[in-house]
Amino acid sequence: MSDGHGTGERESATAELARCREEIERIDNEIVSLLARRLKLGKRTGDLKRAAGLPILDPTREAAVIRRVTGVARDAQLPTEPIREIFWQIVGMSRRVQEQTSESL
Amino acid sequence: MIIVTKSDVSDAEIDHIRERIESLGMRTHLSRGERRTIIGCIGDESLLDEVPLRSLPGVESVTPVLKPYKLASREFAADRTVVRVGGRDARAEFGGREISVIAGPCSVEGRDMLLSTAREVRQAGASMLRGGAFKPRTSPYAFQGLGEQALRLLVEVRAATGLPVVTEVMDTRQVDLVAEHADMLQVGARNMQNFSLLAELGRVRRPVLLKRGLSATVKELLMAAEYIMANGNHDVVLCERGIRTYETATRNTLDIGAIPVLKRESHLPVIVDPSHAGGDAELVAPLAFAAIAAGADGLIVEVHPDPERALSDGDQSLAPTGFATMMQSLAAFAAAAGRTMGTPAEARAVA
């Protein structure tokens, strides 16, 4: 482990690490609040689908959402498969929220 | 159903093919190999009749998968899967050219025995450490393992030796705890069809070592792997550990034929446990040689510093010297099978 890193260097790295972690926590908070916003919109689209007499489950729309974010991820040079997995989870959450509303009506 | 794409397929064409399939409520799985890319379709295949798959741009061929396992089947992957275990400081892999050997005590009995065993097996060429924390014992009165204390010891010894660790998880309630400590999670033979445990392991980002059940067929083993994979975790290593037959001279009968069959049916790595298969220290080396000759990607072997005093499975544990001797002889069998033995962790650390 003692490959030439001095005490000063190590201390500044530790401080930088703590700053990075704080920033990560801020980003995580943002992600969660963005998800909350997205789910709220999901609930709204559920109500609108019912008002328009459309079915809640819309695989064509889900597939289009996934394809679109795949392209966005690729343009951002992110690995596309994990992003697709994350968005399938989000799409699934949104679908469940939409279905919940129908039960409560 | 699997779709093999043309060699010059574009990303946009792949996206389009997947969107068409997913519009039907199915899911897709992409496998990019060196020479070809495969899109696997998961879900009710009768829905696909509506889509003229063969005429979509970028499609080379469309083949139905008639087996009940899809993600685990050989057809679904462009190449064989290499499962990577551990991180930068301690790593191992299964399914490549190298034979990887996991060794260590049946149960973690204490710090000193674990550390000394780990150092000796590493010296002999093992690339991973095993050690039971939670033990599924046939008798409720037998030693049940040190539990969380054992997990902490495994982490400590991992840091001291650079060997990644594998340990068994018996219950869905333990999954998060064990995943925090171990590099690889083992499903024991008795839990191979514990479907809620398999599903839970599908959600974990840790490779799984799936042992074949005592009376499970090859198909059932692959369906168990499919459970883990269908829930999102594709890093599964299969383990043949002997099956129950009418023979009583050995603890179980090592099903050598299962090795080439699993390698034909699946892209997943296959390793063998010669310790549980024979149930006798004298049988470990010959069974290990046969496994490697038959095409296994690795071994998991029980090694105890003092087998006579082991709290569990003493009869089938090798002493460190016996393990070292076996490892030396194993090299010739690996070479005959067109494989190499892993570089000992010590040599890797220096490099």
Rounded to a whole number of angstroms, the CA Rg of chain A reads: 21
Supply the CATH number for residue A15's domain: 1.20.59.10
Report yes or no: A101 at the B interface, CB cutoff 8 Å: no
Q: Please give the angle made by the CA atoms of B235, B240 and B246, to the nearest 5 degrees.
A: 155
Mean pLDDT, chain B, integer: 91
Q: What is the pLDDT of residue A1?
A: 46
Kindly state whether residue A2 falls inside one of the protein's structural domains: no
Indicate the pairing of strand B184-187 with strand B98-104: unpaired
What's the mean pLDDT in B330-334? 95
Q: Note whether A67 contacts B30, CB cutoff 8 Å.
A: no
Report yes or no: A64 at the B interface, CB cutoff 8 Å: yes
Best of B19, B24, B41, B229 to substitute, by most chain A Cβ atoms within 10 angstroms, is B19
Give the range of the structural domain holding residue A93, as residue numbers without chain letter.
7-104
DSSP 8-state assignment for residue B314: G
* Phi, psi dihedrals of residue A57, rounded to the nearest 5°: -75, 120
CA dihedral sign of residues B83, B89, B90, B92: positive
> Which pLDDT band holds residue B20 (cuts at 50, 70, 90)?
very high
| B31 and B40 Cβ atoms separated by less than 8 Å | yes
Query: Within 10 Å of residue B285's Cβ, how many Cβ atoms?
Result: 20
CATH code of the domain occupying B2-64 = 3.30.70.1140
Chain B, residues 232-261, CB within 8 A of chain A, namely 232
Residue B135 token pair: 């033990």
Q: Provide the shortest C-alpha distance from residue B323 to chain A (in Å).
A: 31
Residues of chain B with Cβ-Cβ distance to A62 below 8 Å are: 22
CB pairs under 8 A between A and B: 29
Give the rounded percent of residues in chain B with a pLDDT score beyond 90: 74
Which residue's structure tokens are 């930068």? B88
Q: Note whether B232 contacts A59, CB cutoff 8 Å.
A: no
Q: Note whether B15 contacts A81, CB cutoff 8 Å.
A: no
**Facing A63 at nearest CB: one of B11, B19, B232:** B19
Pick from B231, B188, B181: which is nearest to B211 by CA? B188
Q: Provide the shortest C-alpha distance from residue B146 to chain A (in Å).
A: 31
Kindly state whether residue A70 falls inside one of the protein's structural domains: yes
Best of B22, B231, B350 to substitute, by most chain A Cβ atoms within 10 angstroms, is B22
Q: What is the pLDDT of residue B274?
A: 96
- The string of pLDDT tens digits covering residues B161-197 is 999 999 999 999 999 999 999 999 999 999 999 999 9
Q: Where in chain B is the domain with CATH 3.20.20.70?
A: 83-350
Residue B137 token pair: 């014992």
Predicted TM-score (pTM) of this structure: 0.80
Residue B286 or B8, more confident: B286
Residue B30 token pair: 């992409």
Kindly state whether residue A46 falls inside one of the protein's structural domains: yes
Query: Within 10 Å of residue B244's Cβ, how many Cβ atoms?
Result: 13
pLDDT of B349 > 60? The answer is: no
Residues of chain A with Cβ-Cβ distance to B31 below 8 Å are: none
In the CATH hierarchy, which fold is given to the domain comprising B83-350?
TIM Barrel (3.20.20)
| Structural domain count of chain A | 1
Kindly state whether residue A34 falls inside one of the protein's structural domains: yes
CA dist., res. B278 & res. B282, Å (int): 8
Q: What is the pLDDT of residue A101?
A: 57
Residues of chain B with Cβ-Cβ distance to A60 below 8 Å are: 23
**Facing A60 at nearest CB: one of B18, B23, B232:** B23
Amino acid identity for residue B275 in this structure: S
Residues of chain A with Cβ-Cβ distance to B16 below 8 Å are: 67
Report yes or no: B44 at the A interface, CB cutoff 8 Å: no
pLDDT of B65 > 90? The answer is: no
Q: Note whether B19 contacts A66, CB cutoff 8 Å.
A: yes
pLDDT of A5 > 80? The answer is: no
Kindly state whether residue A1 falls inside one of the protein's structural domains: no
Report yes or no: A18 at the B interface, CB cutoff 8 Å: no
Q: Note whether B22 contacts A63, CB cutoff 8 Å.
A: yes
- The string of pLDDT tens digits covering residues A7-60 is 888 889 999 999 999 999 999 999 999 999 999 998 999 999 999 999 988 999
In degrees to the nearest 10, what's the CA dihedral of B243, B247, B250, B252? 10
Q: How far is CA B139 from the centre of its chain?
A: 27
What's the mean pLDDT in B43-71? 87
Kindly state whether residue A45 falls inside one of the protein's structural domains: yes
Kindly state whether residue A23 falls inside one of the protein's structural domains: yes
DSSP per position, B163-178: --EEEE--SGGGHHHH
Predicted ipTM beyond 0.85: no
Q: A70-104 in b/e burial notation, b at 16+ Cβ within 10 A?
A: beebeeeeeebeebbeebbebbeebbebbeebeee
Report yes or no: B30 at the A interface, CB cutoff 8 Å: yes
Q: Note whether B27 contacts A88, CB cutoff 8 Å.
A: yes
Report yes or no: A67 at the B interface, CB cutoff 8 Å: yes
Q: What is the pLDDT of residue A4?
A: 57
Report yes or no: A41 at the B interface, CB cutoff 8 Å: no
Q: What is the pLDDT of residue B142?
A: 79
What's the mean pLDDT in B207-224? 96
Q: Which residue of A has its CA nearest to B22?
A: A63
Kindly state whether residue A11 falls inside one of the protein's structural domains: yes
Residue B316 token pair: 């089938």
pLDDT of A6 > 90? The answer is: no
